[in-house]
């Protein structure tokens, strides 16, 4: 009897798309059907996600991306992360009594990376114009899309915030002052006008496709839209969790001088597969560090989701994430020692630290720099010690989330992209533009001795972390999920379900998952919960009992709560494309043809 799956595994020959919302998946599918490739489809799907999941991402956010180019037989990382303002420094925070960069308002805004990431990907690897890729999103914004239950619940939860502090947001998402009904048509003409202005500039160039795309991006980063963004955040201070109201510090020069960039991904071989991640301007390398540790265990012999297996995953995660706290930061500023962190000898030594009982400690590795004592302090305590400043911040987080998309075409072009930031719950919609800015600078530390410490025009270390896997030089897997710090734990379990336990994509992402909360959160207020292990309660009770016996403090999160893993796969020998989408949250979907 075939295994139960919540949704069918999508099998296709010409192209597949999976994304966090079915309308975005349909947009990507439409682009493939019109002759576009996987990169064109990814740009279209991304822009629709920006529109229909405003609680998870937006035009003011960011989108780390991995692309496999079939023509070049090479994997690229796209630095879809904007830099911090030139004016935002540790000294500025000290002078203004900021001991923890808030997770809301204008102060933590970095340059929005979303649109230039799409433009760079289109120009370098796509075949269509920006206007063609943006058409589905523009149509949905102007004609309206039906409000779905998850978005309605978010608006209901945020109603007081919108009415009392973010009135510009209320104008759009609380029509007539009320929470709209499920199925009600939501129109965002100002949002659509931003993309229309970009597309118009493109069409007026009369030059090459690439020159047209550059003209479109310049409207956003150097023209009218940039001017309106800077004016909006400079003119109206917004109250944030620091207890004070702040204007934004981004300048026109910050916008004009930033560009998305192509980079070499960081890679590790595991079981004959080459696993590619964005570098340490994301948390992505913790996926590779966990694999390097787990390579020394016989996971199959432990048994899928046995207590021994899950304990081993959790303890390896603690070690990898301790190194994240100790060593990760923007590699253009910091020097993460990945030659050591991913080496066999280093991981053999780290592996020896695992015990039968859950470790209560956060233990970073030694890399010849002296032990990083700061990781034994809370982020807030460490910031205060370094700054000599103690504020009384509101420690209630302005929580947001993330979404994801993967695309694959018959030529083998593959994209894994994780859009996030620019959430409507963290910063007000800018008048006349229809979207808010992001709050990613909340992830910086304020101790200058640490990596990922705040500096002007630096990328904060984001949790956003797509994964792309190649086999024998050909694309094999592209996947990712929402979920902040948990992303590289949930996707790791998905990957091992496929590679170690032989599951197909849909089985692998349907399976119950766990994650550790042992290490400091990347999000305001940067809390840690030592030994806490969050579990989906579909796991057998004897397994949960044994994990508790080993000292894990179990958080029983529910049956279907952990992430929203999405994936595509390419069988080059058979020319077979496949895709899957998690049923969690009910709106992700995969399509193929």
3-state SS class at 253 = helix
Nearest-angstrom CA–CA distance, 478 and 132? 24
Tokens of 274: 């080459």
- pLDDT confidence of residue 395: 61
Q: What is the pLDDT of residues 465-498, one digit of tens each?
A: 999 999 999 999 999 999 999 999 999 999 999 9
- pLDDT confidence of residue 389: 85
Nearest-angstrom CA–CA distance, 323 and 430? 38
- pLDDT confidence of residue 207: 85
Q: What is the pLDDT of residues 526-568, one digit of tens each?
A: 999 999 999 999 999 999 999 999 999 999 999 999 989 999 9
Residue 407 near residue 12 (C-beta atoms within 8 A):
no
Tokens of 108: 């933590």
3-state SS class at 275 = strand
Nearest-angstrom CA–CA distance, 424 and 168? 10
The pLDDT > 70 percentage for the chain reads: 98
- Among 368, 371, 521, 372, which Cα is nearest to 443's? 521
Nearest-angstrom CA–CA distance, 325 and 344? 21
- Tell me which residue has tokens 């709560």: 561
Helices then strands, each counted (H, E), the chain: 21, 21
Nearest-angstrom CA–CA distance, 311 and 547? 7
Tokens of 35: 């002759």
- 3-state SS of 420-469 is EECCCCCCCCCCCCCCCCCCHHHHCECCCCCCCECCCCCCCCECCCCEEE
Nearest-angstrom CA–CA distance, 186 and 144? 5
Mean pLDDT score of the chain: 96
Chain-centre distance of CA 241, in angstroms?
23
Contacts of 165-174 with C-beta under 8 Å, sequence gap 24+, read: 165/238, 165/239, 165/428, 166/424, 166/427, 166/428, 166/429, 167/428, 168/428, 168/429, 168/430, 168/431, 169/424, 169/428, 169/429, 169/436, 171/429, 172/429, 172/434, 173/54, 173/424
Paired strand residues for 479: 467, 567
- pLDDT confidence of residue 541: 97
Question: What stretches in the chain show pLDDT beneath 70?
Answer: 1-2, 392-398
């Amino acid at each position: 009897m075939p295994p139960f799956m919540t949704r069918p595994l999508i099998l296709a020959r010409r192209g597949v798309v999976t994304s966090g919302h079915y309308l975005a998946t349909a947009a990507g599918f439409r682009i493939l059907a019109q002759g576009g490739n996987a990169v064109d489809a990814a740009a279209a799907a991304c822009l629709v996600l920006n529109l229909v999941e405003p609680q998870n991402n937006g035009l003011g956010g960011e989108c780390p991306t991995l692309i496999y180019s079939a023509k070049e037989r090479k994997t690229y990382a796209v630095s879809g992360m904007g830099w911090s303002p030139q004016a935002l420094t540790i000294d500025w925070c000290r002078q203004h009594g900021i001991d923890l960069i808030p997770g809301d308002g204008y102060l933590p805004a970095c340059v929005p990376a979303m649109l230039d990431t799409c433009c760079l990907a289109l120009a370098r690897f796509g075949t269509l114009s920006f206007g063609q890729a943006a058409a589905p999103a523009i149509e949905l914004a102007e004609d309206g899309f039906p409000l779905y239950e998850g978005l309605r619940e978010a608006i209901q939860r945020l109603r007081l915030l919108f009415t009392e502090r973010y009135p510009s947001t209320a104008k759009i998402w609380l029509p007539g002052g009320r929470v709209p009904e499920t199925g009600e048509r939501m129109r965002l003409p100002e949002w659509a006008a931003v993309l229309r202005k970009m597309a118009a500039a493109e069409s007026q160039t009369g030059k090459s496709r690439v020159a047209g795309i550059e003209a479109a991006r310049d409207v956003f980063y150097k023209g009218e839209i940039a001017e309106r963004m800077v004016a909006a955040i400079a003119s109206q201070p917004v109250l944030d969790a620091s207890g004070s109201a702040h204007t934004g510090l981004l300048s026109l020069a910050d916008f004009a001088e930033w560009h998305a960039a192509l980079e070499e991904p960081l890679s590790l071989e595991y079981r004959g597969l080459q696993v590619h991640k964005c570098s340490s301007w994301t948390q992505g390398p913790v996926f590779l560090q966990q694999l390097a540790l787990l390579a020394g265990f016989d996971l199959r012999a432990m048994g899928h989701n046995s207590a021994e297996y899950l304990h081993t995953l959790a303890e390896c995660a603690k070690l990898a994430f301790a190194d994240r706290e100790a060593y990760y930061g923007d590699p253009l500023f910091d020097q993460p020692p990945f030659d050591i962190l991913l080496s066999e000898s280093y991981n053999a030594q780290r592996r020896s630290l695992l015990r039968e009982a859950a470790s209560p400690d956060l233990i970073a590795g030694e890399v010849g720099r002296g032990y990083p004592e700061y990781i034994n302090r809370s982020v807030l305590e460490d910031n205060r010690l370094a700054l000599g400043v103690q504020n009384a911040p509101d420690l209630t987080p302005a929580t947001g989330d993330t979404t994801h998309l993967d695309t694959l075409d018959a030529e083998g072009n593959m994209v894994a992209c994780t859009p996030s930031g620019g959430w409507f719950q963290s910063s007000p919609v800018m008048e006349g533009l229809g979207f808010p800015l992001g709050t990613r600078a909340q992830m910086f530390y304020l101790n200058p001795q640490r990596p990922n410490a705040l500096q002007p025009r630096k990328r904060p270390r984001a949790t956003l972390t797509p994964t792309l896997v190649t086999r024998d030089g050909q694309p094999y897997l592209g996947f990712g999920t929402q979920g902040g710090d948990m992303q590289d734990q949930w996707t790791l379990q998905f990957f091992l379900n496929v590679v170690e336990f032989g599951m197909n994509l849909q089985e692998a992402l349907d399976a119950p998952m766990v994650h550790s909360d042992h290490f400091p959160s990347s999000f305001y207020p940067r809390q840690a919960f030592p030994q806490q292990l969050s579990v989906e309660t579909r796991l057998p009770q004897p397994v949960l009992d044994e994990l508790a016996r080993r000292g894990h403090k179990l958080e029983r999160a529910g049956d279907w709560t952990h992430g929203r893993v999405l994936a595509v796969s390419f069988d080059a020998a058979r020319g077979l494309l496949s895709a899957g989408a998690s049923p969690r949250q009910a709106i992700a979907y995969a399509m193929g043809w």
